[in-house]
Amino acid sequence: MSVQSGMAEGVARTGAGDPEYADEKRQERLENEKEVQEKKAKKHGSNLEIKDEYTPVTYDEQYILMVNALKKYFPIKGGVVSKTVGWVKAVDGVTFNLRRGTTMGLVGESGCGKTTTGRAILRLSGEKSGGQVLFNGQEVYDLSAKEMRSLRTKMQIIFQDPFSSLSPRMPVGEIIGEAVREHGLVPKEEFNDYIDEIMDHCGLQPFHKDRYPHEFSGGQRQRICIARALALNPEFVVCDEPVSALDVSIQAQIINLLKELQEQFKLTYLFISHDLSVVEHISDVVGVMYLGNLVEYGSTADIFRNPLHPYTEALFSAIPVPDPNARMNRIVLEGSIPSPANPPSGCKFHTRCAKCTKRCMEEAPVQREVEPGHFVVCHLYDE
């Protein structure tokens, strides 16, 4: 405090002694500050600006969901006034189309943006940073809050951890029925029967309705989560690692249940998982993500028989096979996934890729269709 007041006095004294000189000084100082600020703005501007370039897609009847160059960045706050100093590029240009009544598996390492993609499609994590999400031809992010609310019944999510995604204070019937009542989907007098029916579909007994989540095992809880999502009669369900927290034998039950329900209600799933064998079993189409990008995308048979992208190859070679004499031609990836806040230039995979060329380091590859329905983002497959 004393230092500051001393300085202020000093300025005041010189100012009093020579007014012109003080003015000049002040002018000079102001100019300097301006320059610095301009420089700062220039420096950060290039970093902070989000490039939102894409060719808009036109709606095609057969696709329930069309995702085009979807971007979701999270700000990194820094400095005294917590300005945005950078972006974590969680989802950085993801493009795919999802046919009605099919399942798309989304695989990749943890931190590659699988879950964020799922949430961004459902508009669950604030505004998007770029791109398009067309649900039945309707841009999800253009809707008003009221319209969004009515659309919510059509798109649902099953969360990863059945232990933390159920309210411990609510009986199961209430957990499943809350949204049904909120949206007024069924008349009051039919409400109880409706909940019983949904629970029956998901393999739960009617007397479970008055119990609380802690009375159930992991598999049963996951059934409750599924019932909660299905109670709204959705068309599209995002399954965010629904079986990762479960035992092998319980896993099989839940996967079978999901498949049965899909046939029964004509559901479309986006199945997010890092367990490749589960994804192969349940999906029709598989997308492989790496560091916010969809690096390969095609039908399950194509992807598993003929993986094209070096990352997909490495990923698939790492799957442990339950056969003690199986010969392993494992491609072990060195290092770990780079930070999405500061991704490598060019192709994001080039730091760990065995087939990296000079071009990969400089130029980012674009998605191209190698065989019908099989897309890959890699320079190796350029003509």
Partner 1 sequence: MAKKKPEGYLSAKEARRISKSNRKITNVLEKKRKRKNVPESEYLTTMHDPNNCVEFDNLHTYFFTDAGTVKSVDGVTFEVPIGKTVGVVGESGCGKSVTSLSLMQLLQRPQGQIVEGEIRLNLGDKAYDVAKMPYEKLQDLRGNFVSMIFQEPMTALNPVFRIGDQLREVLELHNTENRSKEEIDARIIELLEMVGIANANGVSQMFPHELSGGMRQRVMIAMALACRPRIIIADEPTTALDVTIQAQILDLLRELKDKINSSIMFITHDLGVIAEMADYVVVMYAGRIVEKGTAEDIFYHPAHPYTIGLMASKPVVGKQVDKLYSIPGKVPNPINMPNYCYFKDRCEMCVGPCDGAYPEEISISETHKVSCYRYYEGVKEGGEDR
From the list 212, 140, 125, the residue with the least C-alpha distance to 176 is 212
- Alpha-carbon distance of 133 to 142, in angstroms, equals 10
278 binds partner 1 (CB under 8 A): yes
- Alpha-carbon distance of 296 to 365, in angstroms, equals 12
Q: Which position among 304, 312, 350, 378 is part of the footprint of partner 1 (CB under 8 A)? A: 304
319 binds partner 1 (CB under 8 A): yes
Nearer to partner 1, 81 or 248 (CB): 248
The answer to whether 148 touches 216, Cβ cutoff 8 Å, is: no
Nearer to partner 1, 76 or 185 (CB): 76
DSSP notation for 91-102: EEEEEEEEETT-
Nearer to partner 1, 170 or 250 (CB): 250
3-state secondary structure of 109: coil
| x-or-dash string of contact with partner 1, 38-67, rule CB under 8 A | ------------------------------
Question: What's 266's DSSP letter?
Answer: T
Nearer to partner 1, 47 or 277 (CB): 277
Residues 181-240 that bind partner 1 (CB under 8 A): 217
Give backbone dihedrals phi and psi of 375, rounded to 5 degrees, phi first. Answer: -105, 145
Nearer to partner 1, 144 or 336 (CB): 336
What's the Cα-to-Cα distance from 187 to each of 184, 199, 203, rounded to whole Å?
A: 7, 18, 24
Size of the site for partner 1 (CB under 8 A): 39
Query: Closest distance between partner 1 and the C-beta of residue 339, in Å?
Result: 10
Nearer to partner 1, 177 or 298 (CB): 298
Q: Which position among 163, 194, 212, 316 is part of the footprint of partner 1 (CB under 8 A)? A: 316
| x-or-dash string of contact with partner 1, 237-276, rule CB under 8 A | ----------xxxxxxx-xx--x--------------x-x
321 binds partner 1 (CB under 8 A): yes
- Alpha-carbon distance of 50 to 87, in angstroms, equals 9
Query: Closest distance between partner 1 and the C-beta of residue 247, in Å?
Result: 5
318 binds partner 1 (CB under 8 A): yes
- Alpha-carbon distance of 37 to 307, in angstroms, equals 50
Nearer to partner 1, 109 or 178 (CB): 109
Nearer to partner 1, 15 or 111 (CB): 111
- Record the tokens describing residue 382, joined without a space: 């350029």
What's the Cα-to-Cα distance from 65 to each of 18, 138, 155, 195, 203, rounded to whole Å?
A: 72, 9, 11, 28, 29
328 binds partner 1 (CB under 8 A): yes
281 binds partner 1 (CB under 8 A): yes
Selected range binding partner 1 among 39-47, 145-153, 320-328, 343-351, rule: CB under 8 A: 320-328
DSSP notation for 324-342: TTPPP---PPPS-PPPTTS
- Alpha-carbon distance of 137 to 131, in angstroms, equals 14
3-state secondary structure of 105: strand
3-state secondary structure of 129: coil
Residues 84-113 that bind partner 1 (CB under 8 A): 109-110
Nearer to partner 1, 54 or 316 (CB): 316
The answer to whether 106 touches 141, Cβ cutoff 8 Å, is: no
324 binds partner 1 (CB under 8 A): yes
- Record the tokens describing residue 373, joined without a space: 């329905």
Selected range binding partner 1 among 30-38, 84-92, 147-155, 327-335, rule: CB under 8 A: 327-335
127-138 in b/e burial notation, b at 16+ Cβ within 10 A?
ebbbbbbbbbee
Which residues of the shown chain bind partner 1 in the complex (CB under 8 A)?
Answer: 109-110, 217, 247-253, 255-256, 259, 274, 276-278, 280-281, 304, 314-326, 328, 330, 332-333, 336-337
